[in-house]
Amino acid sequence: MKAIITGTTGQDGSHLADLLLEKGYKVVGTTRRVSVDNTERIKHLLNNENFELVSADITDGSSVMNVLQKHDDAVEFYNLAAQSHVAESFKQPGLTWDITGKGVLNILQTLIDLNMHHVKFYQASSSEMFGASFDTEEDIYKKIGTMEKYQDENTKFLPQSPYAIAKCAAHYMTRLFREGYGLHASAGILFNHEGPRRGETFVTRKITKWIGDFVKSGRSDNFPQLRLGNLEAFRDWGYAGDYVEGMWMMLQQDKADDYVICTGETHTIREFLDVAFKHVDIEDWSQHVVVDPKFYRPAEVDYLRGRNNKAKEKLGWTPKHSFQDLVKLMVDHDTK
């Protein structure tokens, strides 16, 4: 069994490569040309005889075609490549569109042009597509008098960033190639997922990395403060290692479909700060954190909380790590 992963050098790509290699797959991971070493997360795989790193950029259709022609015995294709940083997408909307939106069309069209219907395709869709949209649990409202908000596969999309708009286009394109061309193409609508391999400019890792550096400095009084933006947003945070299992499970189904992958719990950035600082015995973090408007976004996603009933029922997927486990795992990693 051979699988191709785009975005192998990223957080999820590296976890997925680990998972597939454990399952006995041969894995072909793509990398693009960058001016610094981008293989930090997959260093441990570079000498694995079942792992091959090949050059491709998903904005360059011919490079995608070369990979597919050379590896036409692949049975699964996971597209995890993206300009994945929401704040950056406001600064580079065109580039974000070219990679995160159009890049996906390049892959899907190449699969069709090469008549590779035997390849099952996974698209990394995102809870960010929901943006300002949510549904409410009327049944709970009737019981306890509060209206719980959530998003699932039936919630409409109301994207709030160039990134989310590009992801919506890619999501609908994946659906079109499934319905229109009969491709086994599934999209995982994944809510935020984190871990020690998370990029250092996403809020969770930015916090745990700062705590790690602060602790390693001997908790110096002169240590520069942690500068953050909006602390009031809610996110449904899970562990990346759990979420890549959901991706694999989707491609093991006879019929392609779309699935929400999430924990079902939501927490603010403040709550993340509470748990993270408490783990290094700091009860009051206010003197260490400065709210800097530089990190505010032109439009924000205020509330994300997923409902994973479909993934539980149809895939048998459940998250294994709680919010508390996740925060502690990241703080422990960064303090050591």
Question: With CB under 6 A as the contact rule, which of the stretches 24-32, 82-90, 179-187, 277-285 interacts with ligand G4F?
Answer: 82-90
Torsion angle of C-alpha atoms 33, 94, 188, 257, degrees rounded to 10: -110
Residues 209-248 interacting with ligand G4F (rule: CB under 6 A) = 228-230, 233, 235
Q: Does 297 bind ligand G4F (CB under 6 A)?
A: yes
Residue with tokens 């039936």: 154
* Contacts to ligand NAP from residues 55-74, by CB under 6 A: 57-59
Residues 18-47 that bind ligand NAP (CB under 6 A): 30, 32, 34, 38
The entry of ligand G4F, ligand NAP, none near residue 278 (CB within 5 to 8 angstroms by kind) is none
Which one of residues 69, 136, 201, 322 is an interface residue with ligand G4F (CB under 6 A)?
201
Number of Cβ within a 10 Å radius of residue 209: 20
- Residue 210 tokens read as 């700062």
Residues in contact with ligand NAP, shown as a per-residue x/- string from 109 to 148 under the rule CB under 6 A:
---------------x-x----------------------
- Candidates 25, 127, 128, 243; catalytic one: 128
Stretch that binds ligand NAP, among 52-60, 110-118, 151-159, 278-286 (CB under 6 A): 52-60
| Distance between CA atoms of residues 260 and 265, nearest Å | 13
The 3-state DSSP class for residue 319 equals coil
Annotation says 126 is catalytic: yes
Strand locations in the chain (E): 2-6, 26-31, 51-55, 76-79, 120-126, 135-136, 149-150, 185-190, 193-194, 226-228, 234-235, 238-239, 258-261, 267-268, 289-291
Tell me if 324 contacts ligand G4F by CB under 6 A.
Answer: no
Catalytic residues: 126, 128, 163
